[in-house]
């Protein structure tokens, strides 16, 4: 007959029996570290940090909140809070955007052994220049949305197109990336268009 363990004893027994699996982890880590120093595999060790993919995606989401105000939030926007809302969104976007642009420029500069372009002030300047183009970008996207409604007999409304047409999201991303590309910002446009 099997001896009955108290619940606490059973858990301690399971934890103890699993420890030998964890003991194997340092060997795996050592092999991975060795593979980085051998060459032949790709890593980004001892290099300047590159733009963070999740932050680039966050930038796209933040831009959608600005370019299509009221469409992708749960709260109501009206003339009373629109300026406050857009102000908050722009300030938050500026912080993330300038940080990622700085990383992209600095990475490119160091990787290609270019002369210093003062990455930080340049990144802030380029972020501001990009944000200044948002009104024109909104106008272009409005034309794209109108064209989608005019060209699709099944489409019922602009809301339907903005909310549910993946093509409009793709156009939005490509128009954003195109602006960044024209500003000669490295890496970020490509990360965006591959998202």
> Residue ranges of the domains in the chain?
7-38, 53-193
Exposed, middle or buried, 100 (CB in 10 Å: 0-12/13-18/19+)?
buried
Please check the confidence at residue 9 and state whether its pLDDT lies above 90.
Answer: no
Confidence grade of residue 5 (pLDDT, cut at 50, 70, 90): low
Encode pLDDT of 89-116 as tens digits.
Answer: 999 999 999 999 999 999 888 777 777 7
Encode pLDDT of 142-159 as tens digits.
Answer: 999 999 999 998 999 999
Alpha helices in the chain (DSSP H): 7-22, 25-38, 53-67, 82-111, 119-132, 134-151, 158-164, 166-182, 188-193
Residue 35: the pLDDT is: 86
Return d(Cα 155, Cα 122) in angstroms, integer.
43
Q: Report the predicted TM-score, pTM, of the whole model to 2 decimal places.
A: 0.82
Residue 115: the pLDDT is: 75
Cβ(101)–Cβ(188) under 8 Å? yes
Could you give the C-alpha distances from 98 to 10, 52, 94, 127, in angstroms and in order?
Answer: 53, 13, 6, 5
53-193 topology per CATH: 1.10.3130
């Amino acid at each position: 007959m099997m001896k009955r363990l108290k619940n606490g004893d059973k858990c301690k027994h399971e934890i103890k029996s699993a420890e030998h699996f964890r003991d194997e982890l340092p060997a795996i880590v050592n092999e991975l570290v060795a593979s980085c120093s051998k060459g032949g595999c790709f890593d980004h060790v001892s290099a300047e940090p590159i733009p963070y993919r999740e932050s680039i995606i966050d930038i796209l989401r933040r831009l959608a909140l600005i370019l299509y105000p009221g469409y992708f939030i749960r709260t109501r926007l009206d003339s009373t809070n629109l300026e406050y809302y857009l102000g908050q969104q722009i300030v938050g976007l500026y912080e993330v955007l300038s940080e990622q642009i700085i990383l992209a420029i600095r990475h490119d500069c160091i990787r290609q052994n270019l002369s210093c372009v003062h990455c930080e002030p340049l990144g802030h300047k380029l972020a501001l220049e990009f944000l200044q183009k948002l009104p024109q970008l909104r106008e272009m996207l409005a034309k794209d949305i109108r064209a989608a409604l005019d060209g699709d007999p099944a489409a019922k409304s602009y809301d339907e197109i903005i909310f549910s047409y993946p093509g409009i999201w793709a156009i939005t991303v490509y128009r954003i990336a195109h602006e960044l590309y024209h500003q000669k910002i490295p890496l970020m446009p490509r990360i965006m268009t591959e998202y």
